[in-house]
Structure 1
Amino acid sequence: MKTPKLKFYDKGFISKFGNFTRVEVFSAGTTVLNLDIYENQICKDSFKCQNAKSFNREYLHKSYKENFLKELFEKEEKTIVHRDKKNNILIKILKD
């Protein structure tokens, strides 16, 4: 995941629960990113929960729809690449 404010190039886990999806990224055995993605809010370990629209505005771009991340991380494909050159965003997910 590479955005103007988030840069992570490591391995992790995507876990789906009843009402949210958890994305955990590790580097050298240490958690470097932990996101709980709900339908209308996103909780990151380094800040309190914020609504998905304000998260997108701050970390992605205001043009992204509210549940963009949830839909992206819940896709079933083995390889997912979202490239937005205009806003300098790359999200690449490779599933084992």
Structure 2
Amino acid sequence: MRKYSILWASLAVLVLGGCGTKHFTLSEPKMITLKTPKLKFADTGYLRTDGDGVELELFTAGVAVEKIRIDGEVCVSAGCMNEEKFVREYLYPDYPVDTMRNVLLGRDIFGGKGKEEMCDGRLFQFVRDDEMDIIYRRGKGEIYFKDRLNGIIVRINDLDENQSR
């Protein structure tokens, strides 16, 4: 009888444990540059997405050095936190809560404020006030976010695009 209890417990652990890992539908190699108050990085990585979930895995010399996962909460090597705390600590306190998620997914930031579409299909947003001076562009294999006043840069390029330059 004890043998069956151990078997059922092992089976339950395998079934329930397998549900804890998120499987992303899209995984693309990228050239990534991050410059924030707590992150400094420039090398290759993978951008993985699935709906609103996104993961950025960063590599240096082929070794994974950091993973940023946003899916309900934000998890980094230092631990997990809600998106508001992440934006406050890793970006800038006056940014909207979903700023990093939207940048990584190539979506509008700040509710589409200052959005312009260029004739080549790329999208630009300019957000300027006393606290920030942001240029954000996306399209043609690139995501580029720069806040000149706060010294924040997020740049993600397709590896193919970067190699042809």
Runs of 4+ with deviation above 2 angstroms: none
Where structure 2 has 5 or more consecutive residues not aligned to the other structure, the ranges are 1-33, 107-137, 160-165
Match of 2:57 in 1: 24
Match of 2:5 in 1: none
Residue 85 (1) aligns with residue 116 (2): no
2:95 to 43, 61, 64: 64
Please give the TM-score of this superposition, normalised by the length of structure 2: 0.53
Where structure 1 has 5 or more consecutive residues not aligned to the other structure, the ranges are none
Report which of the two structures shows the higher radius of gyration computed on alpha carbons.
Answer: 2
Equivalent pairs, count: 94
Greater per-residue helix proportion: 2
Cα distance in 2 for partners of 1:65, 1:4 equals 17
RMSD: 1.5
Shift of 1:71: 0.9
Shift of 1:18: 4.6
Percent of pairs identical after alignment?
33
Higher relative contact order (CA 8 A, sep 6+): 1
Cα distance in 1 for partners of 2:58, 2:68 equals 9
Cα distance in 2 for partners of 1:36, 1:87 equals 23
